[in-house]
Amino acid sequence: MRFLFITIVLFSLSSCFRLDSFMYNNDSTITEYKLDDFDDEQDFILDDSYNIPDDKIQLFTLSVGAENHEIYCLYIGNQNTINTDTVIFYNHGNKDHMDFYWQRAKLLAHTGGKMRYGVMMIDYKGYGLSGGQSSEAGLVEDTKKALSWLYNQGLRSDRLIMYGFSLGTCPAITIAGDASSVLVPARLIAEAPFASTDVMAADGALLDMPGAYYTSDRFENAEYIKNVEQPFLWIHGTADDFLNIKTHGEVVYKNYTGLYGQAERVIGAGHSTVPQTIGFLDYNMLLESFITKKI
């Protein structure tokens, strides 16, 4: 009887916990964005030749959702020429906030030459100074809001490139396959994408365990990529010790059935070291050649 009682009590307490928040390693304790002055841990720091003039960096906010959470956005380039420029929209990964990814955004702004393309990045809800809580749906909602802003500035889909890194591949792939989005990218780049939380769970448990056992967020990139028709560049480090290239990246790439797929398996690169391993110049050349490739 005692055992039955304990079981009933425990069952009544069940469903209390979900591990969704563990998907997001966000830092919302900052009081300002420091960009080049950010001196915490970063994947790499570019030299002065990659500096961006202050008048070409715009930090602003957008209001998202019914609760009007403010999200912070960063645009590198000339806002007045968005109606003619091509823009790379960078969906950052799950760590900290935009300061951590500032160097990556600057590097993208040197694709094809200094500020050949505009670059936009946002902090999703719950990241940096952006309000609200992070969620899978929120990543997509926030990205769509920023794309609406770009649309209102005159950007059109044929001049939009979406680049997702790690967690950021979720909104990038989802929107690239969503014809109803206000802007749909002309080309898609995914660096170190994960296949789904199902694969994360199976890799961790070594058995075929559904991701739903621990999180409501599914991040079904391996399924959403099937909706993508646009040219697709997949980049993944062969030594990625977090999102295994075989169980995550290869599955996403295999499921892509669109116009043109290009795979770049970067020998020896880890999860966060693709640009450094390729070399910054070659990395920019790789992106430029994909973006300008005639297909």
State the residues that interact with other proteins by CB under 8 A. Answer: 2-3, 6-7, 10-11, 13-19, 22-23, 25, 93-95, 166-167, 192, 194-196, 198-216, 222-223, 239-245, 247, 251, 255, 271
Nearer Cβ to other proteins, position 113 or 204? 204
Cβ proximity to other proteins: between 70 and 250 the closer is: 250
Compute the least distance from the CB of residue 21 to other proteins, in Å. 9
Toward other proteins, which CB reaches closer, 21 or 79?
Answer: 21
Q: How far is the CB of 197 from other proteins (least distance, A)?
A: 8
Cβ at position 95, least distance to other proteins in Å: 5
Q: Distance between alpha carbon 224 and the CA centroid of its chain, in Å?
A: 14
Which CB, 77 or 93, lies closer to other proteins? Answer: 93
Q: How far is the CB of 93 from other proteins (least distance, A)?
A: 6
Q: In this complex, which beta carbon is closest to other proteins, that of residue 94 or of residue 181?
A: 94
How far is the C-alpha of 222 from the C-alpha of 253, rounded, in Å?
A: 8
Q: Which residues pair with 96 in a beta bridge?
A: 26
User: What is the C-alpha separation between 138 and 126, in angstroms, rounded?
Assistant: 10
**3-state class (DSSP) for residue 174:** helix
Cα 56–Cα 158–Cα 194 angle in degrees, nearest 5: 85
Helix ranges (DSSP H) in the chain = 2-13, 98-108, 136-152, 169-176, 197-205, 221-224, 250-255, 274-278, 280-292
Smallest separation, CB 196 to other proteins (Å): 6
Q: Which of 249, 228, 252 is CA-nearest to residue 239? A: 249
Distance (Å, whole) CA 6 – CA 4: 5
Distance in angstroms (rounded) separating the CA atoms of residues 115 and 56: 9
Nearer to other proteins, 1 or 179 (CB): 1
Residue with tokens 């602003």: 60
Per the CB < 8 A criterion, the answer to whether 81 and 13 are in contact is no
Q: How far is the CB of 211 from other proteins (least distance, A)?
A: 8
